[in-house]
Structure 1
């Protein structure tokens, strides 16, 4: 499995918009992209303006299909107007079996 963790810093007045948009992207991706396995939206405990997206795909090709798909593009078109990122914190392929 290919997985990654990215962060975004969001303008304070647009936090709810970011969460709604990321959650919609997660729902659409999981429902319509066969290689999407997990898409979590996580709020930072220390900074209310920081959010993380924790995503898992069947493999790198599945992520690339996601990145070339409509949900990815729509997310960045909107979020890019009020959020900075993504900052890549981790990305790679799972070694062995998940615990």
Structure 2
């Protein structure tokens, strides 16, 4: 699974506008981009104008397709005049620990 996290700094008077644009981008990406697994918007607890996007994709290719898509372009078009960022925090492939990984039981194995 490929993960990215970025931050944006947004003026106080544009926070609601930024939140609306980011949430719409996430909804549209999840609906239209099969490789999009998670799209989270997080407000910093100590800096009211700082927001984080925490995203997960099936693989790096799926993230590339997201970056080439219309939702990504629309989001950046909407925020370009006031948001600073993205500042990259992480990007890479999650390394699973097979010794501690758990799997959900198959539907027929579910206890009722």
Partner of 1:22: 22
The reply to whether residue 65 of structure 1 matches residue 49 of structure 2 is no
CA offset at residue 96 of structure 1? 1.7
Instruction: Give the structure-2-normalised TM-score.
Output: 0.85
CA offset at residue 81 of structure 1? 1.1
1:32-57 Cα distance to aligned partner (Å, 9 max, x none): 10000000000000010000000000
CA offset at residue 12 of structure 1? 1.1
In structure 1, distance between residues paired with 2:48 and 2:96: 35
Larger of the two Rg values belongs to structure: 2
Matched positions, count: 99
SS of the residue 1:48 aligns to: coil
User: Which structure 2 residue ranges, 5 or more long, are not aligned?
Assistant: 103-112
Cα RMSD (Å) of the superposition? Answer: 1.2
In structure 1, distance between residues paired with 2:80 and 2:28: 19
Which range is displaced more, 88-97 or 60-69? 88-97
User: Which structure 1 residue ranges, 5 or more long, are not aligned?
Assistant: none
